[in-house]
Chain A
Amino acid sequence: MSRRLPVAMAIGIGILVLLDRFITNLYLDALGMFFLDTAVILAAFALLVGFVNVFTVHVRKIRARRPGWPYSTILVCFSFSVFVIGWFGPSTPLLQQVFRSVQYPLQATVASLLIFFIASAAFRTLKVRNLESLFLVGVVVIVLLGEIPLSAQVTALKDWILSVPALAGVRGLILGVALGTAVTGLRVLMGIDRPYSK
């Protein structure tokens, strides 16, 4: 019973929500919306559990003085402070100021590292070692040159590369992922695969 109940619930609710996606029916729509709203509430509680985990992991690290424990101290202090500030609502001026002055600049700073990492990865990757890498470097050069108003032919070739072979490859990739997603969903809906229970 303890094994069958979660499986039965998962299959039943999953099929209901799936049918809601395909069939237009007033009662099915209401039921589907109810389950989706329930999932959102569960996800919010999961976020709380995750927050407790963050605290636990870093407090243990501080106690054991493992490498990087000063960073964990800063993280714990700031997390707790923002938690307390945010307790009074998401639109409080102080919380908005914290996000504007701390969160967004820090996010932008770390994200800006991407440009340097892209250059570093490109420098390491674009080396002619064999025929395949020669082909890759050639295509990269054509696409880069096609972005500047150097030659109409090069720009046309660049457009063709991006809109025909590259797009075909991406579409094939997306199709494969979609099929994998569909079959994974089928496995879970049929109760054959149970990541939530054994």
Chain B
Amino acid sequence: MQVIANILSESGIEPKAALLLAFLLIFVPALPYLRRRIIDGASPQLRPIPGFKALQQMTGQSMETGRPLHLSVGIQGVGNQNAAQTLAGLTTLEYLARETAVYGAPPIVTVADPTAFIVGQDVLRRAFEGRSKTGRFARDAVRMIAPDPVAYASGVMGILSREDVLANIMTGAFSAEYLLIGETGVRMGIHQVVGTGNPQALPFMLATADEVLIGEEMFAGGAYLAKLPTHIASLLIQDWMRLLIVLIIIAGIIWNTVF
């Protein structure tokens, strides 16, 4: 990796940026390789995550009872540093939409960011098209509430209070305003499955939700729900990256201690 970093440094890239780029470049060929291995039949063992199991159960209940699920993809959009968390929420949306496209009520999707609104509407439409149920797609199934987090929380509190939702599913970037929504869900007796990568919001989620996807578990939706080979390969890559970082940290500690 140091050899790659040196080559990149000589190309005019800053040293720290060069190391980071080298770290990422190592895993670039691994992703398509692992994806191909999984498509060809390899099935890596994934530890059970209760949140996704609950999500599947809620989806089945929604199809049986006809009551919609509420889904939020976070208060951020797809154009900033939290875009990955929003994409994780959109992966969950795609799964829910595909499952409920034929039977049951389509999910009520709320967004705070306009870019998430555009992409969310497209994801929902494509999910219905994929099931040949374009006629069931309603444009106002995705609702833009407000860009301001507190105003967004107020809007979602109203939806949970007035509309007969079966469960509240929130995966994406959230902050303290989540507690307003979470407590409303508890008060209404609504089952809640939530997840975020923001450490500030996680304590509130653990105090109010029935199942919590902590941090990177949120990014595993595509692997657990839809069994997508790309997403399963991504989980393996993440594990390898983490292992490499831990080894580097341990080596650094030993180096600093001994020398």
Contact = CB atoms under 8 A, between A and B. Distances in A.
Q: Chain A binding site: helix, strand, loop or mixed by DSSP?
A: helix
A148 interface: no
B119 interface: yes
Interface residues of B, number: 77
A176 B243 CA distance: 11
Contact of B28 (A43, A110, A190): A190
B35 A22 contact: no
A121 B147 contact: no
B193 interface: no
A192 B87 CA distance: 14
A9 interface: no
B202 interface: yes
Interface string B192-229: 00000101001010111000001110110000000000
Nearest to B91: A195
Given A121-B208, A187-B31, A190-B32, A53 B234 contact: no
B50 interface: no
A50 interface: yes
B79 A179 contact: no
A183 B207 contact: no
Interface string A107-119: 1001101100110
Contact of B84 (A110, A125, A181, A196): A181
Given A118-B179, A177-B215, A182-B241, A49 B230 contact: no
Nearest to A45: B114
Interface in A27-51: 39, 42-43, 46-51
A124 B209 CA distance: 12
Q: Chain B binding site: helix, strand, loop or mixed by DSSP?
A: helix
Given A53-B144, A121-B182, A196 B119 contact: yes
Contacts of A182: 24, 241
Given A43-B79, A195-B90, A184 B245 contact: no
A114 B154 CA distance: 12
Interface string B2-16: 000000000111100
Nearest to A46: B114
Interface string B130-156: 100000000110111111101101100
A114 B176 contact: yes
Q: Which of A110, A124, A180 has the most CB of B within 10 A?
A: A180
**Chain A, interface residues (CB within 8 Å), range:** 35 or more
A196 B122 contact: yes
A63 interface: no
B12 A24 contact: yes
Contact of A110 (B35, B140, B145, B180): B180
A21 B202 CA distance: 31
B118 interface: yes
B47 interface: no
A46 B115 contact: yes
Given A49-B117, A125-B207, A179-B242, A174 B199 contact: yes
B114 A43 contact: yes
A198 interface: yes
Given A121-B208, A186-B24, A190-B31, A23 B12 contact: yes
A22 B11 CA distance: 11
A104 to B, nearest CB: 11
A190 B118 CA distance: 22
A181 to B, nearest CB: 4
Contacts of B118: 46, 49
B185 to A, nearest CB: 11
6 contacts: A24-B13, A53-B144, A121-B208, A174-B199, A186-B28, A187-B234
Closest 4 pairs between A and B when the two form their complex, measured CB to CB: A177-B197, A176-B216, A180-B219, A46-B114
Given A67-B162, A174-B199, A186-B31, 18 more contacts: A22-B14, A22-B18, A42-B115, A50-B117, A57-B140, A110-B153, A114-B179, A121-B207, A174-B215, A175-B242, A179-B241, A181-B197, A183-B219, A183-B234, A184-B219, A190-B28, A193-B230, A198-B126
